[in-house]
Structure formats: C-alpha cells, structure tokens
Amino acid sequence: MRFTTFSILAGLLLPGLAIAQLSGTVGPSTSTAHKTATKICNVLNYGAIASKTSDLGPPLASAWAACKSGGQAAGTMIFIEHTTDFEMYSSTSKGAVQGYGYVFHKAGAYGPRILRLYDVTNFSVHDLALVDSPAFHFSIDTCSNGEVYNMIIRGGNEGGLDGIDVWSTNIHIHDVEVTNKDECVTVKSPSKNILIENVFCNWSGGCAIGSLAAGTDISDIEYNHVYTQNSNQMLMIKSNGGSGTLKNVIFQNFMGHSNAHAIDLDSAWSSMSTVAGNGVGYSNITFDSWHGTVTNGANKPPVQVFCPAAVPCTGITISNNFMWTEAGSKNPIKTIYRKASRFGGFENV
C-alpha cells in the first residue's frame, strides 16, 4: 500500500528547513604524508603478533612511547584521550580489530568497547573494520573537529552493541556501514554541529538521537543520505521525561526497506526509565525526502511522533515522504500532539 506524500506543520509559524552544518574544519592538523615522512611506529616492529591469544598491550605501549612526540602511532588503539592532531587508520584499508565479543556474549556478559576517543581535538579515524565488540564498537566522547569515514562495523546479533555513538562538537561522520542488532550511528547529549551522511545500516536498531535525559543540549545536527534495511526503525528520537532541548535538526534523503518503523519520535519510550523533568523540548526538526517500506504499517506506523504533554513540539516538518507497507490492509499515521490549539493530529489515513 502506498503512503503518499504528506506534510505535517507544527506550530503557528514555521521556519524553513533546519540547517545544520559543521562549524569549522575537521580532521588532523598535520597531513598523513608529513607525519609518515617524520616517523612511523608500527606495533609489529615492537613485538605485536596478530593472534587471538597474544597480548598487544606491551607492544602498543612501546610504539606509543616511541611516537608520542613528533610521530605517528600505528596499530590497534583502544582508548585515546587528551590529545590533538590525531589520526588512526589502516594505510592498506585492510586493518581490522576483532573484539571476540561472542566469548563474552555466550556467557551472558558484556565486555569492553573496542574503541573510545575522549577529549580529542583535530582527529580522524578511517579505513578500518571493527568486528564483534563485547559492547559498543566506537564512542566519540567530548571531542571536537573530528572526521570518521570509510569504516565497516559488524556487531553480534543482540542489543547493547552500538555501532558509532557520538556526543561531541563539529564532527563529520560519513561513508560508514554498520551491521548489528542495536543502534547504527547515534547522537547523544551534549552535541552540536554534527554532520552524518552516506551511512548504511543493516539488521540494526537504525540511527537514533538519544536516549535523552535531564539537561539535554543538542543542536545543529544533520543526517543525509542514510540507507536502512531490516531494522527497528530508520530513525528514532527517544526520551522519557527529562529536560533541555533538541533543536535545529534535519533528516533528509533517507531510504529504507523492510523496517519496523520509519520515523519514530517517542517522548515516552518504554524501554527507558522515566527521568525527572517535564520532557525534552523538540523544535525546528525536519524530515524531508524519505522513501521505502515498512514491514507492517497497520501494526507499527511508518510515522510516529509522540511529543511531551507539558512541552509541546514546535516547528516539526515532515515533507516529501513516500512509504509503502509490505503487509497489512492499511498504513496508519499516528502523530500525536498534546495541544489541540496549536497542533493537529490524525490517524489511519
């Protein structure tokens, strides 16, 4: 069944499309060629062996010590913090990190993340594969001016194994593919000036913003050209109570097939415990040019917008959307706004 083009305009006066962009340059301040010409510290030259049982720790520490001043550290890096002009990559595009998450998961446990950056400025991570993390695969925590690209992430088939989570400023994430059973590329609070584009999400929870709690502070976010298949949703914004704001966000050029939901803004997300506050304020959020299918539009609507009762959404625009349901006799829209004087709602269109 075809879900025809529709628009939802929330509020008396609406701004134009939310414009989110990077606030400055991203990536290392020193070129790869310059760093390579200066110094290369390869962990293989410090005793590292690519095997399931060998300990990478001592060779990595030795390589890092040799390259921490004026050089480049090559190899597997798990936790990078308090640094600048940093680049982690595979020069052959064949580099991969195997996390052996299945060892933890078959015992009913989770382990460490594969990679976390904390307080890193002017950086890039690229041309790597992260495989089977015991927990989250890649976290970008309180960083700035970074670029992540040309990456493949393959997680296990269960929750709690996020692909990329970012809460930072001025970050460009592009040309990545995530296959897992949890979130694909997710923005968390606080974040500002994040550009995410050319993303492929397979068999996952889909991309998301959240979970959002007290003091949410997210603005100027753009997702563009995202393809999602066989996932829980193409995009979810999730909270339950809380406070603060999510504003100036655009999700455009999404394509998906065989997903449960397409657009899902849920301010009463049942998988999250209720937190203090009247709700997160959602404003100036645009969903534009979405195409594809949901598995059963009668059971799970392609568009679901639940705004907080005490903090009505403002400036929500949904336009140029074409969705089909693969099963079910109807394709309902469930868009609920709490203030009838300012918002309209409709169902089972």
Closest CA to 313 of 341, 334, 337: 337
Distance CA 265, CA 301 (A): 12
Q: Which residues pair with 144 in a beta bridge?
A: 121, 169
Q: Is 257 a catalytic residue?
A: yes
- The pLDDT, as a whole number, for residue 348 is 31
CATH class of 32-37+56-336: mainly beta
Q: Are strands 183-187 and 206-212 parallel, antiparallel or unpaired?
A: parallel
Q: Are strands 138-154 and 73-74 parallel, antiparallel or unpaired?
A: unpaired
Instruction: Please tell me the predicted confidence (pLDDT) of residue 329.
Output: 57
Longest CA span, the chain: 70
Angle in degrees, CA 149, 67, 37, rounded to 5:
70
Strands 303-306, 261-266: pairing kind: parallel
The pLDDT, as a whole number, for residue 70 is 52
Of the listed 85, 119, 141, 257, which one is catalytic?
257
Rounded to two decimals, the pTM is: 0.81
Q: How far is CA 190 from CA 8, 184, 289, in A?
A: 28, 18, 27
**Which of the residues in the chain have pLDDT under 50?**
1-19, 71-77, 331-349
Q: Smallest Cα–Cα separation from 207: which of 156, 249, 145, 270?
A: 249
Whether 182 is catalytic is yes
Q: What residue type is 12 in one-letter code?
A: L
Q: Are 276 and 214 in contact (CB under 8 A)?
A: yes
Tell me how crowded residue 227 is: count the other CB atoms within 10 A of its CB.
17
pLDDT at 255: 97
- Quick one: residue 187, left, alpha or beta (phi over 0 = left, psi -120 to 50 = alpha)? beta
Annotated catalytic residue: which of 182, 220, 266, 288? 182
d(CA 150, CA 127): 5
The DSSP call for residue 328 is: S
